[in-house]
């Protein structure tokens, strides 16, 4: 969790920026939560850190919305099973063969927190469990790197420019984020559990609501369009400063990249009425030739640079 100071119209205030971007995953999104999937693989923002009542109201509203949604669930069709739905999800993305053939991926674009702050980001992934994320906001560069075993991150908003080893809780999060295929692909082999809750609605579209419980006990919900089987919404929680905060992400603007479908616009926040983070993806590159050295302990980022560094193809 980082404190980002912003000056606007002569007034100074703070925003809380978690150390990851939210790109919740189906196949390639949880890791970018990353920026992210789970966050940087989910970024949340609270523009008024001193108004604890506002935060409590937001959390209560999110809980109420979720409760209302669950009450509206319709009975599950016996003809639909988890395996059948996930098979159609994989086909909608481009097929398991293409998904498993990916060796690496680079996602670049812009992240914004309302109208107050924005900046470019880059997330790089390499099989089996490597990840590198860079982000520039308010002329400060953040970096998170995971080599499959160890991880490092800096906190420029607290004056810590040098990337330090990640604590145990962050390592757990980033190891899940670096899962190249995401938690749904081969979920049983990863000791994850998936349940079909029923049908639901997202933006007037019928969706299948799937519940994922990870091997660590974390619970997330994936809501897939019943017609296209593309991911429309993701629900989960992000732990920061010892507390769990609800996170929702909405996926739009799906495009084809080398035979695979990706969402190029992702809105996230504590509820549908409080979407404070927006990701607009400019480019997705597949099977980039990243050297392993890109995922080693990074040097301190250049504070004068405002654009995240990216490896050469």
- Within a 10 A sphere around the Cβ of 165, how many other Cβ atoms? 11
**Residue 74 in this model has a pLDDT that exceeds 70:** no
> Of 139, 113, 132, 109, which Cα lies nearest the Cα of 121?
109
* Range scoring the smallest mean pLDDT among 2-11, 168-177, 192-201, 207-216: 2-11
pLDDT of residue 27: 40
CA 162 to chain CA centroid, Å, is: 24
CA 260 to chain CA centroid, Å, is: 18
Mean pLDDT of 308-312: 43
**Which run of H or E residues covers position 51?**
none
pLDDT of residue 131: 92
> Of 245, 241, 222, 242, which Cα lies nearest the Cα of 232?
222
**Residue 141 in this model has a pLDDT that exceeds 80:** yes
* Range scoring the smallest mean pLDDT among 79-83, 251-255, 277-281: 79-83
Q: How many CA atoms lie within 13 A of 218 on its CB side?
A: 18
pLDDT of residue 302: 62
Per this entry, what is the length of the chain?
313
Query: What band does 156 get if pLDDT is binned at 50, 70 and 90?
Result: confident
Radius of gyration for the alpha carbons in the chain, expressed in angstroms and rounded: 19
How far are the Cα atoms of 98, 128, 294 from residue 131, in angstroms, in the given order?
Answer: 20, 10, 9
Strands 11-17 and 219-225: unpaired
**Residue 284 in this model has a pLDDT that exceeds 70:** yes
Strands 193-202 and 243-257: unpaired
Greater confidence (229 vs 52) lies with 229
Instruction: Tell me, letter by letter, the H, E, C secondary structure of 79-132.
Output: CCCHHHHHHHHHHHHCCHHHHHHCCEEEEEEEEEECCCEEEEEEEEEECCCEEE
The alpha carbon torsion through 285, 290, 296, 301 (nearest 10 deg) reads -50
Name the token pair of 61.
């509203």
> Of 204, 245, 250, which Cα lies nearest the Cα of 231?
250
Contact (CB, 8 A) for 22 and 277? yes
* Alpha helical stretches, state H, the chain: 52-71, 82-93, 96-101, 168-177
Contact (CB, 8 A) for 227 and 92? no
Mean pLDDT of the chain: 77
Contacts of 53 (CB under 8 A, 6+ apart): none
Query: What band does 25 get if pLDDT is binned at 50, 70 and 90?
Result: very low
Q: Is it true that the peptide bond before 128 is cis, omega within 30 degrees of 0? A: yes
Its pTM stands at: 0.74
Query: What band does 303 get if pLDDT is binned at 50, 70 and 90?
Result: low
* Range scoring the smallest mean pLDDT among 51-60, 102-111, 118-127: 51-60
Mean pLDDT of 80-108: 95
pLDDT of residue 139: 85
**Residue 72 in this model has a pLDDT that exceeds 60:** no
pLDDT of residue 295: 95
The alpha carbon torsion through 160, 137, 269, 234 (nearest 10 deg) reads -90
> Of 312, 301, 237, 247, which Cα lies nearest the Cα of 275?
247
Mean pLDDT of 265-269: 93
* Range scoring the smallest mean pLDDT among 122-136, 160-174, 228-242, 293-307: 293-307
């Amino acid at each position: 969790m980082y404190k980002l100071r912003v000056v606007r119209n002569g007034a100074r205030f703070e925003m809380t920026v978690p150390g990851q971007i939210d790109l919740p995953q189906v196949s390639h999104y949880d890791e970018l939560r990353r920026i992210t999937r789970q966050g940087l693989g989910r970024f949340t923002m609270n523009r008024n850190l001193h108004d604890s009542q506002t935060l409590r109201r937001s959390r209560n509203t999110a809980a109420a919305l979720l409760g209302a949604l669950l009450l509206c669930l319709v009975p599950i069709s016996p003809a639909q099973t988890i395996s059948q739905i996930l098979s159609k999800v994989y086909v909608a993305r481009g097929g398991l063969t293409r998904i498993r053939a990916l060796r690496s991926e680079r996602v670049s674009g812009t992240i914004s927190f309302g109208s107050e702050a924005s900046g470019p980001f880059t997330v790089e992934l390499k099989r089996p469990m490597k990840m590198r994320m860079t982000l520039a906001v308010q002329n400060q560069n953040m970096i998170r790197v995971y080599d499959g075993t160890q991880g490092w991150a800096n906190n420029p908003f607290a004056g810590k420019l040098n990337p330090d080893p990640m604590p145990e809780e962050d390592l757990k999060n980033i190891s899940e984020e670096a899962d190249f295929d995401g938690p749904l692909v081969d979920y049983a082999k990863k000791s994850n559990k998936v349940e079909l809750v029923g049908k639901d609605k997202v933006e007037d579209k019928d969706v299948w609501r799937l519940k994922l419980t990870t091997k660590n006990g974390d619970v997330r919900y994936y809501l897939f369009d019943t017609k296209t089987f593309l991911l429309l919404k993701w629900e989960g929680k992000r732990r920061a400063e010892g507390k769990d905060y609800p996170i929702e992400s909405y996926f739009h603007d799906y495009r084809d990249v080398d035979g695979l479908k990706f969402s190029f616009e992702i809105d996230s926040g504590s509820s549908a009425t409080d979407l404070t983070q927006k990701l607009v993806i400019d480019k997705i590159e597949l099977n980039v030739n990243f050297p392993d050295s890109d995922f080693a302990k990074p040097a301190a980022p250049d504070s004068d640079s405002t654009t995240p560094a990216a490896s050469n193809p």
